[in-house]
A and B are shown apart, each in its own frame.
Chain A
């Protein structure tokens, strides 16, 4: 008589899947509805970026770095410029440092509001998605007015920025900030007091403080678990040392730290509020001066051609710490360049977060770390076989059905 042995079931999700915004391949081992183990494979959007930098001079690499990712398209060229400025000993004028802070905070707000919409969509709350993205449109209009384009700002230059913010532009900035403050109350009421959000996200996808420290997670993912890590406060760059800024952990609002998805929502909404206050402080405190240390670009290129050394640049992107390592060796082109996007470090925490959860929780937990796969994969381009494609919208439908079940 044959015995039946109970084994676990393997569920592959990705690389192309409606529940995921970008390609990543998961393999879950499931027993019933509970997840037991997770295997993650990356590498589906490789482009040849670090390799392409080997035949480009530093100014061309700025635009290459901008196209690593669409949402964090400001922090990659900025971190690269910081690294090169530290190698070549270029002093950035103070006016330019405050301008850089303003652009960084506008981008942080755009990214967090976009994330808020995506998180609501994963739960099944599509009307909130459209509400948040309508708010984001006003911010993108402001960006277009200041910079010339909505995304891919092209405002970085080694030694400063490329465009100034004159006092005639202040009224439009202040009007947008006022609009944001008014709609912040709407967002806060929906995300933090709505019963649906609380039911779906509390106690879900927990990452303890010890695991966050050991797996070296970065950004709001680790701050929601109570770890105080923020590059703007720890090792400040630009003009953050002159501004009033602090770590944003969930106990500022609720008084306790759980490390679940609800806490991550709290941290991101608090950071939007913090960004509004930082931009206002900058507009008050900004000293006048030049916007770039060397306006003649041909002279700057000639100076960079003779520099020899290595340097690092770190920045706080909306998702975590962005790290660039650059090595120049007295040549026109770059010798070595290593980019580490924050999602690189935030992928390992997926494994303890997803264990013992249900399948319908996979979209919201994976989305709560705000993954940006385009940032993570950028090394070499090769022929790649797509692994498999799962059925239509199955995972997303399961997530919506769980929400409906909880209501009834």
Chain B
């Protein structure tokens, strides 16, 4: 067949595009006001794609359960976890984390877990929302 793609291209002109769009077309100047407007109903957004469960996003640390055994530091492939000597607790640098969740598996008291937060871009490697402690 000489032009086998032609029927497919023709059909594509009438189908909905496959890309998932961002919630809003332009970045809002203030996120809190934008969220209020959504809740009031004055602004509609594209519904976000659902995130599957057990997605490996930002790490969550339950400080009270931690016993300071340092097993997570031993197994982290990118040296993203630091030990705080005086308190016997840890400090995780998300700028170096590879989101492998190996520390979750090895922790004997299960104080680490992965949330589904993935929008973590920032301009400073050591800013407050990129350090978990």
Contact = CB atoms under 8 A, between A and B. Distances in A.
Q: Do A and B come together as binding partners? A: yes
Interface of A: 56-57, 59-64, 67, 125, 127-128, 131, 134, 137, 144-145, 148-149, 152, 154, 162-163, 186, 189-190, 193-195, 297-298, 301
Interface stretch (B26-34, B50-58, B59-67): B50-58
A134 B100 CA distance: 27
Interface residues of chain B: helix, strand, loop or mixed (majority): loop
A213 to B, nearest CB: 36
Contacts of A148: 52, 54-56, 101, 114
B4 A193 contact: yes
Contacts of B71: 298
B75 interface: yes
B5 A125 contact: yes
Interface residues of B, number: 26
Contacts, number: 69
A60 B76 contact: yes
A128 B8 CA distance: 10
A149 B99 contact: yes
A195 B105 contact: no
Contacts of B18: 134, 137
Given A63-B102, A162-B105, 9 more contacts: A57-B74, A148-B55, A149-B56, A154-B101, A189-B1, A190-B5, A297-B102, A301-B74, A301-B75
B2 A195 contact: yes
A193 B3 CA distance: 10
Contacts of A59: 75, 77, 102
Interface of B: 1-2, 4-5, 8-9, 18, 52, 54-56, 71, 74-78, 98-102, 105-106, 108, 114
26 contacts: A56-B77, A59-B102, A60-B75, A60-B77, A63-B78, A127-B8, A127-B9, A131-B5, A131-B8, A148-B52, A148-B56, A148-B114, A152-B98, A154-B99, A163-B54, A186-B8, A189-B1, A189-B4, A190-B4, A190-B5, A193-B4, A194-B4, A297-B75, A297-B105, A297-B106, A301-B74
